[in-house]
Chain A
Amino acid sequence: MVETNNLNESAREEKKTTISLSPTISSMATRGDESTADPSAAEVIFDVEKLDAFYGDFKALSNVSLQVYKSQVTAFIGPSGCGKSTFLRCFNRMNDLIEGARVEGTIKYRGADLYDEEVDPVEVRRRIGMVFQKPNPFPKSIFENVAYGPRLSGLKKSKLAETVEKSLRRSALWDEVKDRLSASAYGLSGGQQQRLCIARAIAVQPDVVLMDEPCSALDPIATARIEELITELKSEYTIVIVTHNMQQAARMSDQTAFFSVALDSHGSRTGELVEFDKTETIFTNPNDSRTEAYITGRVG
C-alpha cells in the first residue's frame, strides 16, 4: 500500500512537471474553472482521440476525444441511442464480442493503444473490469461467483476465501451473505445481485471498473447503496459509469461527458460527444446550449 502511494505521488509529480509542455492538457486547464482543483493534475488513465465506433456499416459514435483520470468517477450521460454504452464497451474491448463491431481512432490506456494488434483483449479485461446494466451473476454459488475471476488469474486455493471475503466486504455485501456463501446467487435480491457483480469485478483487483447503467434495474434504496459504494470505491479504482440518471451523475461523478444524437447528411443517427468537463461545470455552467437543454430537462 505504501509502495503504491509513493508510486502515485511520484507519477503525479512527474505529471506536474510536464503540464506546461503538453499543449492539450494546458489548453484544457485554461478552459476549466480556475477556482477549483485542476483535474489535469491527476494521472490520465484513458486518453481517447477521435474515436469512431461502428456496427457493420452503421456508425454508432463519431469523433470522440476525452480523458479519464485516475481515482475519479467519470460519468457518461445523454439520451438513449447516443452511443454512450457503445463507447464504454470500447474501453475493455467488450464490443469485440459483437459481430461486425469495430473502432477507428485511438484509445490509449496508460499510454498503450488498446486496439493495437499485439494487445490481448483478455489481458485488457483483467485490468479493466465491468459491471453490467442487468445484474448477471453466474448460475453458481455466491462464493463461486466472486472466486471465478481470481481463480482464472491463478490465485492459490488457500488465498481464495480471503479474497472473496475482502471483495464482498468492499462491495458492502459481506454481512448479508456471510452465512450463506454456498447458496445460489439467484436467491439474492436485485440490488444484492448487482453488489455481488461489483464484488466479482473487483475481486480480480482491476485498475478500472466500467459500469453500464448499474442502477437502472434497481429500486431507489438499492440504487442509493450502490451509489454510496461507488463513491467509496473511487479511492482505489478509477470508475467510468454510464447513467440515464442525471442526478446520479451530478451526485457521484467528478467529470461528466454529455453525448447526444446527431443526424448526418444521409439522415442516419450517430452519437457524438457534445461536452466534457468537470461535473460541476456541466451542471451549473455548461458551454453548449444542447447540454443545458438536456440537464434542465427541456429535451431528452
Chain B
Amino acid sequence: MRLASSPADIAIQTAKTRQSLQRRPQADLPGTLFKWLLISFTGFAIAFLGVLVVVMVNDGWSVLSGRLSGFLSNGFSQRSAQDAGVWQGIVGSVQIGIATALFAIPVGIATAIYLVEYATGGWFARAVELNVRNLAGVPSIVYGLLGLTVFVKTLDGFTQGKTVIAGGLTLAAMVLPIIVITSVEALKAVPQGIREAAYGVGATKWEVLSRQILPAAVSTILTGTVLSLARALGEAAPLILVGAATGFISFGDSNFLETFTGPFTALPVLIFNFARQPGEDWSANAAAASVVILILVLMINGAALYFRNRFEKKW
C-alpha cells in the first residue's frame, strides 16, 4: 500500500478507514431476527405462566382472602363449599412426597451409578438405559394401574392396601426413570480427566467415586431429583387409581407415623374433587388449592436450591 505523505492524504485515508469500519444496520440481519425470535418465544412462555398464576389467584381470591386459615386447616367437606379445606391434602401430599423420595432417590441414584461406573459400555447397560428412557415416557395412569395391581393388591402385606405407602411406591415407580436418567447424565458429565487423575495417583474405584465423581455430580443429581419429585406431587391420576380418598377422611387419634398406613388423600386429588362439584364456590376452592400446591412446590424447589448451594463449592 502507498504511504500517505501529506497531512491531507492522511486525513483522507483516516476517513476511508473510518467509513469502512462503520457499523451497517443490515450487517447481521439473520442474527438479529433470530435474537428477537428467541426473545418473543421466551416472552410467550413467561406470559403463559403469568396468565396461569393470575387466573388461578383471581379465581381462588374469594377463598384465599376470605377464609385462608379455615381453608388450610379444615378437612374435606362434601356438604358445603364454604367449609371445605385442604389440610388432609397437604398432610397427604407431604407424606407421599416423603415416601416417594425415600423409595425413589436411593434406588434411582444407585442404578445410575451402577450403569455409568460399573456396567460401562456393555450391552446390558445400554439395554437398561434405553428401556429406562422409554419408561420415562409412560403415562402416569399406567403407573397407577401398576400400583393398584402390585403395591395395593400383591404387596398388601407390606403396604396395608390403599395407604400412603402404596401411593408413595406408585409415584416412586413413576419418577424412578427420570431420576435414573438425570443422574446418569450428571455422572457422565464429570470430565474423564478427573477420573484418570484420581486413578493415576492410585485411588481405588470406591475412592474415585466417593471423593471425586459423586461430589462433582451431586448438585446436578439433586436438581433433577427435586424436579421429578415436584412432578410427582402434582399427580392425581395414579393416586386415584391406588385409592386416594375422594371424600372426607378422619385421622382419628392416630399420630403422624400411623397415618402412613391409613386412608389418605393428596392435594391434586382434592383439586380434582373440588373441580368436579357444581358451582362457583367449588371452582374457587379448586383454584385456591392449586395456589397452595404451587407454593408447596416452590418451597421444595427453594429448599433444593439452598442445599445445592451448600453442597456445591464453586471452583
Which residue numbers of A lie inside 8 Å of B, CB to CB? 92, 94, 97, 99-100, 122-123, 125-127, 129-130, 132, 134, 136-140, 148-149, 152-153, 184-186, 197, 200-201, 203-204
A126 pairs with B195, CB closer than 8 A: no
Known contacts A139-B216, A139-B315, A186-B315: A126-B197 contact under CB 8 Å: no
- Give the residue of B191, B197, B202, B216 whose beta carbon is less than 8 angstroms from that of A152: B202
State the CA gap A295–B203 with chains docked (Å): 39
A242 to chain B, nearest CB (A): 14
A125 pairs with B199, CB closer than 8 A: yes
B33-54 contact mask (Cβ, 8 Å, vs A): 1 or 0 = 0000000000000000000000
Please name all residues of chain A whose beta carbon is closer than 8 Å to the beta carbon of B198 when the two chains form the complex: 138, 148
State the CA gap A184–B199 with chains docked (Å): 21
Please name all residues of chain B whose beta carbon is closer than 8 Å to the beta carbon of A138 when the two chains form the complex: 194, 197-198, 212
A-B contact count (CB 8 A): 68
Question: Residue of B at shortest CB range from A149?
Answer: B201
A148 pairs with B196, CB closer than 8 A: no
- Give the residue of A136, A139, A152 whose beta carbon is less than 8 angstroms from that of B203: A152
Known contacts A97-B195, A186-B315: A132-B200 contact under CB 8 Å: yes
Question: Residue of B at shortest CB range from A93?
Answer: B199
B193 pairs with A204, CB closer than 8 A: no
Answer whether residue B9 sits at the interface, using C-beta atoms and an 8 A cutoff: no
Please name all residues of chain A whose beta carbon is closer than 8 Å to the beta carbon of B199 when the two chains form the complex: 94, 97, 125
A136 pairs with B196, CB closer than 8 A: yes
Known contacts A94-B196, A136-B193: A99-B121 contact under CB 8 Å: yes
Answer whether residue B156 sits at the interface, using C-beta atoms and an 8 A cutoff: no
Please name all residues of chain A whose beta carbon is closer than 8 Å to the beta carbon of B203 when the two chains form the complex: 122, 148-149, 152
A185 pairs with B315, CB closer than 8 A: yes
Known contacts A99-B120, A138-B212, A186-B315: A132-B202 contact under CB 8 Å: no
Please name all residues of chain B whose beta carbon is closer than 8 Å to the beta carbon of A125 when the two chains form the complex: 199-202
State the CA gap A6–B131 with chains docked (Å): 63
Known contacts A134-B193, A139-B194, A139-B315: A94-B204 contact under CB 8 Å: no
Please name all residues of chain B whose beta carbon is closer than 8 Å to the beta carbon of A203 when the two chains form the complex: 201
Please name all residues of chain B whose beta carbon is closer than 8 Å to the beta carbon of A99 when the two chains form the complex: 120-122
State the CA gap A127–B207 with chains docked (Å): 17
B57 to chain A, nearest CB (A): 43
Please name all residues of chain A whose beta carbon is closer than 8 Å to the beta carbon of B122 when the two chains form the complex: 99
> Can you list 16 A-B contacts with CB-CB less than 8 angstroms, sorted by A residue number?
A94-B199, A97-B195, A122-B202, A122-B204, A125-B199, A126-B201, A126-B202, A129-B200, A130-B200, A132-B197, A136-B191, A136-B196, A139-B315, A149-B203, A184-B315, A197-B197
B196 pairs with A97, CB closer than 8 A: yes
State the CA gap A136–B216 with chains docked (Å): 14
Which residue numbers of B lie inside 8 Å of A, CB to CB? 120-122, 191, 193-204, 207, 211-212, 216, 315
B202 pairs with A148, CB closer than 8 A: no
- Give the residue of B196, B216, B315 whose beta carbon is less than 8 angstroms from that of A132: B196
- Give the residue of A97, A140, A186, A204 whose beta carbon is less than 8 angstroms from that of B201: A204
State the CA gap A184–B191 with chains docked (Å): 17
Please name all residues of chain B whose beta carbon is closer than 8 Å to the beta carbon of A153 when the two chains form the complex: 202
Q: Which 4 A-B pairs have the closest CB atoms?
A: A126-B202, A136-B193, A149-B201, A99-B121
B295 to chain A, nearest CB (A): 35
State the CA gap A201–B203 with chains docked (Å): 12
- Give the residue of B121, B194, B200, B315 whose beta carbon is less than 8 angstroms from that of A201: B200
Please name all residues of chain B whose beta carbon is closer than 8 Å to the beta carbon of A201 when the two chains form the complex: 200-201
B127 to chain A, nearest CB (A): 15
Please name all residues of chain B whose beta carbon is closer than 8 Å to the beta carbon of A127 when the two chains form the complex: 202
State the CA gap A149–B195 with chains docked (Å): 13
A56 to chain B, nearest CB (A): 10
10 new A-B contacts at CB < 8 Å, known A92-B200, A94-B196:
A99-B120, A99-B122, A122-B204, A125-B199, A125-B200, A134-B193, A136-B193, A140-B315, A148-B198, A201-B200
Among A92, A127, A138, A201, chain B packs the most CB atoms within 10 A around the CB of A138
A214 to chain B, nearest CB (A): 13
State the CA gap A122–B206 with chains docked (Å): 11
State the CA gap A94–B195 with chains docked (Å): 11
A181 to chain B, nearest CB (A): 14
Among A123, A149, A185, chain B packs the most CB atoms within 10 A around the CB of A149
A132 pairs with B193, CB closer than 8 A: yes
A98 to chain B, nearest CB (A): 9
Among B195, B196, B202, chain A packs the most CB atoms within 10 A around the CB of B202
State the CA gap A186–B314 with chains docked (Å): 10
State the CA gap A245–B307 with chains docked (Å): 48
- Give the residue of A97, A100, A123 whose beta carbon is less than 8 angstroms from that of B202: A123
State the CA gap A132–B198 with chains docked (Å): 12
Please name all residues of chain A whose beta carbon is closer than 8 Å to the beta carbon of B211 when the two chains form the complex: 148
A152 pairs with B207, CB closer than 8 A: yes
State the CA gap A185–B200 with chains docked (Å): 18
Please name all residues of chain B whose beta carbon is closer than 8 Å to the beta carbon of A184 when the two chains form the complex: 315
Question: Residue of B at shortest CB range from A139?
Answer: B315
Please name all residues of chain B whose beta carbon is closer than 8 Å to the beta carbon of A92 when the two chains form the complex: 200
State the CA gap A284–B128 with chains docked (Å): 57
Please name all residues of chain B whose beta carbon is closer than 8 Å to the beta carbon of A130 when the two chains form the complex: 196, 200
A200 pairs with B197, CB closer than 8 A: yes
State the CA gap A147–B211 with chains docked (Å): 13
A35 to chain B, nearest CB (A): 39
B309 to chain A, nearest CB (A): 16
Question: Residue of B at shortest CB range from A150?
Answer: B201
Please name all residues of chain A whose beta carbon is closer than 8 Å to the beta carbon of B201 when the two chains form the complex: 125-126, 129, 148-149, 152, 200-201, 203-204
